[in-house]
Amino acid sequence: MDQTVETVRGSAEMWLDCAYESLLEGGVDSVRILTLAKKLNLAHTSFYWFFHDRDELLGALVTRWEEKNTGNWIRRNEAYADSICEAMLNVFDCWFDDALFDTRFEAAIRNWAQQSPEITRLIQKDDAQRIDVLTATFMRFGYEPSVADVRARTTYLVQVGYAATRADEDFSTRMRRIPDWVEVFTGVRPQPNEMQRFYARRGYAE
């Protein structure tokens, strides 16, 4: 887009980014066209160059959430792994990297669901998809379907609850607990070299 036009009207990405920040800061009720225009220092009519109405903007927010959080969850499950422990550590990357899995965005969407049956249904759909993908990961490494299902649900629901409660745990403590979490979820103790690769990705030195 021409820089002059963008200065006057903004861009779809600018409006969406502003809506995202507002959702995180104040919930869905704070995502209002006039409010966003004020934050962007743009005329509110500029919004309509990019979105038909507020509902379309909210839909774009949901799409961003699904593409980022659920999309990256799927990709981490599909990442190369030699063992179930390595596969689990690939998935654990989601809980430590907001570039992969935006935990604040996740919390904001779940808060939104408390006042929207439609968003509740979308979350239920994505939760089921994430659990199905993780179940498939366990089955890929030889777990029986029923066992894979329970382990996947345990892993996912514990981690969702972990994020929701915002446990007061420093980074080093959390890192030291990772091998035990992997063993609890998979029934297998991760090898030192598997942990070393994970720690290296997370910038942690034992």
Is 192 inside a domain boundary?
Answer: yes
| Together in a domain, 68 and 43 | no
| Together in a domain, 83 and 38 | no
Host domain of residue 176? 62-202
Number of other residues whose CB lies within 10 A of the CB of residue 7: 11
Is 15 inside a domain boundary?
Answer: yes
| Together in a domain, 30 and 90 | no
Give me the tens of pLDDT residue by residue for the chain, a chain 206 residues long: 444 445 557 899 999 999 999 999 999 999 999 999 999 999 999 999 999 999 999 999 999 999 999 999 999 999 999 999 999 999 999 998 999 999 999 999 999 999 999 999 999 999 999 999 999 999 999 999 999 999 999 999 998 887 777 667 889 999 999 999 999 999 999 999 999 999 999 999 87
Number of other residues whose CB lies within 10 A of the CB of residue 175: 19
| Together in a domain, 41 and 127 | no
* Domain-ending residue, one of 9, 32, 51: 51
The terminus-to-terminus CA distance of the chain in angstroms comes to 48
Three-class DSSP category at 50: coil
Inter-CA distances, 156 with 101, 130, 134, 166, Å: 13, 8, 8, 15
pLDDT in tens, 120-146: 999 999 999 999 999 999 999 999 999
| Together in a domain, 195 and 150 | yes
| Together in a domain, 160 and 71 | yes
Is 190 inside a domain boundary?
Answer: yes
CATH number of the domain enclosing 13:
1.10.10
The pLDDT of residue 2? 44
Q: Which residue has the tokens 């659920």?
A: 70
* Domain-ending residue, one of 51, 76, 93: 51
89 CB contacts (<8 Å, ≥6 apart)?
178, 182, 190, 194, 195, 197, 198
| Together in a domain, 112 and 18 | no
The Cα 101–Cα 1 span in angstroms is 29
| Together in a domain, 18 and 66 | no
Is 188 inside a domain boundary?
Answer: yes
Number of domains in the chain: 2
pTM: predicted TM-score of the whole model, two decimal places: 0.90
| Together in a domain, 88 and 181 | yes
136 CB contacts (<8 Å, ≥6 apart)?
77, 148
| Together in a domain, 78 and 153 | yes
Is 56 inside a domain boundary?
Answer: no
Is 155 inside a domain boundary?
Answer: yes
The Cα 171–Cα 162 span in angstroms is 14
Taking only Cα atoms into account, the Rg of the chain, rounded to an integer number of angstroms, comes to 20
| Together in a domain, 129 and 41 | no
Is 103 inside a domain boundary?
Answer: yes
Is 198 inside a domain boundary?
Answer: yes
| Together in a domain, 47 and 69 | no
pLDDT in tens, 75-98: 999 999 999 999 999 999 999 899
**What is the rounded average pLDDT for all residues in the chain?**
93
